[in-house]
Amino acid sequence: MDRPDRPGSGPPPAEASLLNKPVDRRRALTVLAGAAVAGVQALNACRPASTLSEEQRELKLLAWREYIKGNYRDMTEAERAETIARLERQALVERGSAVTIQSTGAQPGVVFGYAFNISKCKGFRSCVEACINENNLDRNADTQYIRIFEIEDGVVDLDHADATFQHEVPAEGHFYLGTQCFQCADPPCVKVCPVGATWQEPDGITVIDYDWCIGCRYCMAACPYWARRFNWSAPEVPVPEVNPNQHYLGNRARKTGVVEKCTFCIHRTRQGRLPACAEACPTGARVFGNLLDPDSEIRWVLEHKRVFRLKEDLKTEPRFWYFSD
Amino acid sequence: MHLKPFLASALRSATSGGARYHVWMGLLTLVMLAGAWAYGIQLRDGLGVTGLSDHVSWGLYISNFTFLVGLAAAAMMLVLPAYVFDDVDFGRAVLIAEGVAVAALVMCLLFVVVDIGNPLAAWHLMPGIGFLNWPRSLLAWDVVVLNGYLALNLAIPFYILYSHYRGKRPERKKYLPWMYIAVMWAVSIHLVTAFLLAGLPARPYWNTALLGPRFLASAFTAGPAFVIVLLWVIGRETRFPVAEGAIRKLAVITTVAAQINLVMLLSELFYKFYSPTHHGINARYLFFGLDGHHALVPWIWTAIAFNILATAGLMIHPLRRNTRWLIPACVVLFVSIWIEKGIGLVIPGFVPSPLGEIVEYVPTLVELGVTAGVWATGLFVLTVLVKVAIPIELGEVRSPHVEEPRPARVTRPRTTRPRYDEDRPVRTR
Amino acid sequence: MRFRGGKPMLHSLLAAGLLSACVEDDSPGTGDDATVEPGGPATAAAAPVRDDSLEPGTLGSVRAIPVVGWSGPGGRPFEVALRTRDRESGHARRFGTITLRTTLRGGTPDLVQYPCTSCHLGRTVAMKDTRIGDAHQNIQPRHPALLGAVCSTCHSPSAVDMLTLRTGDRVDMDQGYRLCAQCHFAQAEAWASGAHGKRLDGWQGRRVVMGCSDCHDPHRPAPLPRIPFRAPTIQRGGGHD
């Protein structure tokens, strides 16, 4: 029913070459090849349900339901409970790890603040070790939320700092300064996330919904303190070392391709406990508490010590101060 | 009723051609398949198979994305003189330019897709079923403007081609308003991409007011250069008449834009190097290396040298008017802008890190494979679009339902009255 | 500043005076104003003194109240309340209630010699008593030596299980913080306020802290250097750092 194209509009005079086959056969071959490939893929993807074990079917259903869920912020309490139940079940079935995932909200009248004593820090990195264990950080990639810098006396300049020191500490003529996520009051990372996967909770903790994050890493480019980490490969924690006390927005099992960061141990601090780093520090260099409580230690430090913050000029208003004795 | 024959004829055009055409398409297909296979590895093992790290979290993919947004924007800017000033020289080149824009956009979107860590979750970006953090997030702006621009660049040329296919003149009042919108949109896509980077105070290398204008200047350098080379190839390989005036004017645009780009580059370098502040440390890494790390130093100096050389060459009238010098100059300029705006812009922004740590970036084979695959896809799309458009524009292909078929003829372009004093024709080989 | 024995500096005298004047000890669970003898023999019970001229926030008064039913870490916890001129608040005050957990020199390893009365059977110890020659040779009195002090500067010769303040008052080993605060008043204030040392429990609720000697060996107070936990691996390409 198609009339052929006008004269003079066909392909140019063919050189007698293998490459100039008539279009029909070429198209037919393309279609056939495409169909074959598609068919094989379809066969692979849709194995009849009867070949899957009960456990595999359950896992697939859990994975599907997890995939289609929305942003944690927009979920109702019931939906949150459901997703937590699914995640706990997944952890148990897939990895044999029995965990409890909290969805504890922020306590009213609480905004967390942190102070770091650069006279007391001796560079022991006990905080780093405690953080790794508490937050189920990837052992393969040796993810560390906390960075301890050794700096020469006389300058507070991170361009001349060394975080890779591995010698007896404290070293003469140096002081130590630790960084982690500062839970800024005006966080640039929250501003730039295109899907709203990261936001700040009322108690000041900037959190990430790992299942909503698409892994674009714009937040990592935006953070002035290099506080965020990306899962470049599948994170792994040996099951005996898993901390089963988890929070949905904190130290639950993450997956490849999403961003994570320090959450001030949200699973502990929302229960009134100290973050693992503050608890582990042997020199007492870390002070943590509620900025809204006038009787708290953090408030005493801010009122009586000479405090400073990093990159104050960027106006991110970090809730992490440094002071010295 | 013309649609099915249009699509069928388009498919026919795209799949038929001479030996060189088939070799070209075959080669592209091979590279696309290799890229797809490399991407499969990346999907399976995670982005750890690339050279990226927590320190340098954006690399080759976003570098190419940044460069190609410029290419897409510049292609559209050529439209402005053609339609607004009714410059017929540009008339035919415009559809080609829009083809370039579509291909570049496809590459941009593909580079974003291969860069994100959780591509299956991309539906989270869609307002309605997901959540788009507009207007706070510049990336959300970018999603909106790029997709809108793609829609415009698909719709307008489709309308024009489809009208020609049906033997009708496209109605100016139907496409001209969209054309104006598309031209302004073209500026916005590149400014938004520039603001995406410039709006980060955490990255002093990008956090300058000049980044947006620099982006536009380098886009207008690389874009027309690419279109010149493309038109030259089309002029040699097909019967499509490429107006000498078009290439001449494009060359002038490229030259002026290249000069402006160099001035802006000079301005940035002065600001970064005159005082040894923290703001200049990334530039120091790029140009001179830092603490023994100097992976990018040869690249940037090559780019600067190419840029100056090509710009100087293009400023010489006899050289610019001779395709024997024009084409290589455009290629060299294109490459230099790719280096300077791609890897010379994105990667130094991360070195050193905000906490002063220096971690360098070297792309892996998987990364290079995916990049090559995306470029091959873009060139494939471009070739197909051009291959479909040309016969229609030449009048060789018309809908079978057309009542009064126009005779097939090769149209000679009307040359305009020379506006400048260069009234000599462009010499081709 | 060098502290020469016998010639205290004015401010340390003041601080010591203030401290000793205001320190009181309470028995478990009783009300605010009860004063009870501390856990050692023959110590004069200090009368509770509230100095109204004190600014809120200074180390106005420290009370050590043993805690009943403590299930946290440590051996013999005390509840230490810091009182200011704000009388109405009763227990809680400018810095909240801190619970002192002292484990009697939990930091020093050579603690096989407590209680002192196991050797010094109530009699006065002469400094040159060398009957058991190597009894205390493991103690390197760096800190006292720096101050020109001798053992009896801090240890009460007549009641060897106790410590002695500059004013002559004797205090329990558990109240060693009072001794340190005589000179290290700045650190003591920071300690009471939470900027020196750490909390053992969470940030919320009752504060549980340790005494000075739980971290600082009084004879060698400087923290010992150690090899840190492993450095971060900064990789190039292909992953994390």
Chain C (106-135) residues lying within 8 Å, Cβ to Cβ, of chain A: none
Encode pLDDT of B349-400 as tens digits: 999 999 999 999 999 999 999 999 999 999 999 999 999 988 888 888 787 7
Contacting residues for B150 by C-beta, under 8 A, at least 6 apart: B102, B105, B106, B109
Q: Do the chains contact at C238 and B50, CB–CB below 8 Å?
A: yes
Query: How far apart, in Å, are the Cα atoms of C121 and each of C115, C116, C117, C138?
Result: 10, 8, 5, 21
> Mean pLDDT score of chain C, rounded to an integer?
57
What pLDDT is attached to residue B91? 66
Q: Minimum mean pLDDT among B35-44, B217-226, C137-146, C147-156: which range?
A: C137-146
Fold of A118-289: Alpha-Beta Plaits (3.30.70)
Domain count, chain B: 1
Domain segments of chain C as ranges:
10-109+173-214
The list of chain C residues with pLDDT below 70 reads 1-139, 174, 235-241
Classify residue B424: in a domain, yes or no. Answer: no
Q: Do the chains contact at C236 and B52, CB–CB below 8 Å?
A: no
Mean pLDDT, range B245-256, rounded to an integer:
88
How close B354 gets to chain C, by Cα (Å)? 15
Residues on chain B bordering chain C, Cβ-to-Cβ distance under 8 angstroms: 48-55, 357, 359-362, 364
Classify residue B425: in a domain, yes or no. Answer: no
Nearest residue of C to residue B362, measured between CA atoms: C237
Q: Do the chains contact at B46 and A11, CB–CB below 8 Å?
A: no
Most confident of the following: B222-236, B263-277, B362-376, C227-241: B362-376
How close C115 gets to chain B, by Cα (Å)? 52
Domain segments of chain A as ranges:
54-102, 118-289
What pLDDT is attached to residue C210? 74
* Rg value, chain A, Cα: 27
Query: Which chains neighbour B (Cβ–Cβ under 8 Å, 3 or more pairs)?
Result: A, C
What pLDDT is attached to residue B414? 57
Amino acid at C182: Q
Q: Do the chains contact at C203 and A233, CB–CB below 8 Å?
A: no
Classify residue B405: in a domain, yes or no. Answer: no
Q: Do the chains contact at A147 and C232, CB–CB below 8 Å?
A: yes
> Is residue C234 within 8 angstroms of chain A, CB to CB?
yes
How close A12 gets to chain B, by Cα (Å)? 7
Q: Among candidates C162, C144, C164, C145, which has minimal Cα distance to C154?
A: C164
For an interface test with A, the pick among C93, C191, C198 (most A C-beta atoms closer than 10 Å) comes out as C198
What pLDDT is attached to residue B401? 76
ipTM: 0.89
What pLDDT is attached to residue C195? 87
Q: Do the chains contact at B51 and C241, CB–CB below 8 Å?
A: no
Ordered alpha helix ranges (H), B1-137 = 3-15, 19-45, 60-77, 79-84, 88-115
Q: Is the pLDDT of residue B156 over 70?
A: yes
Q: Do the chains contact at A212 and B139, CB–CB below 8 Å?
A: no
Q: Which two tokens stand for residue A109?
A: 């009248």
pTM: 0.81
- At B22, the pLDDT band (50, 70, 90 cuts) reads very high
What pLDDT is attached to residue A8? 47
What pLDDT is attached to residue C199? 80
- At B421, the pLDDT band (50, 70, 90 cuts) reads very low
Mean pLDDT, range A216-233, rounded to an integer:
97
Q: What distance in Å separates the CA atoms of residue B244 and residue B426, rounded to the nearest whole number?
A: 6
Q: Is the pLDDT of residue B77 over 80?
A: no
What pLDDT is attached to residue C168? 83
Mean pLDDT, range B58-71, rounded to an integer:
96
Q: Do the chains contact at A214 and B121, CB–CB below 8 Å?
A: yes
Handedness of CA C37, C40, C41, C47 (dihedral sign): negative
Task: Name chain A contacts of C227, Cβ cutoff 8 Å.
Answer: 166-169
DSSP B324-356: HHHHHHHHHHHHHHHIIIIITTTTGGGSS-TTS
- At A232, the pLDDT band (50, 70, 90 cuts) reads very high
Classify residue B404: in a domain, yes or no. Answer: no
What pLDDT is attached to residue B83? 64
Encode pLDDT of C211-224 as tens digits: 787 778 777 787 78
Per the structure, the complete domain to which residue B209 belongs is given by 3-393
Q: Among candidates B94, B184, B108, B196, which has minimal Cα distance to B150?
A: B108
Q: Among candidates A308, A116, A303, which has minimal Cα distance to C56?
A: A303
Element at A261 (helix H, strand E) = strand A259-261
Q: Is the pLDDT of residue B425 over 90?
A: no
- Kindly report the backbone phi and psi dihedral angles of residue B192, in degrees, each rounded to the nearest multiple of 5, phi listed first: -60, -45
> Mean pLDDT score of chain B, rounded to an integer?
88
For residue B105, give the CATH number of its domain: 1.20.1630.10
Q: Minimum mean pLDDT among A19-23, A248-252, A276-280, B125-129: which range?
A: A19-23
Classify residue B142: in a domain, yes or no. Answer: yes
Element at A100 (helix H, strand E) = strand A100-102
What pLDDT is attached to residue C146? 75
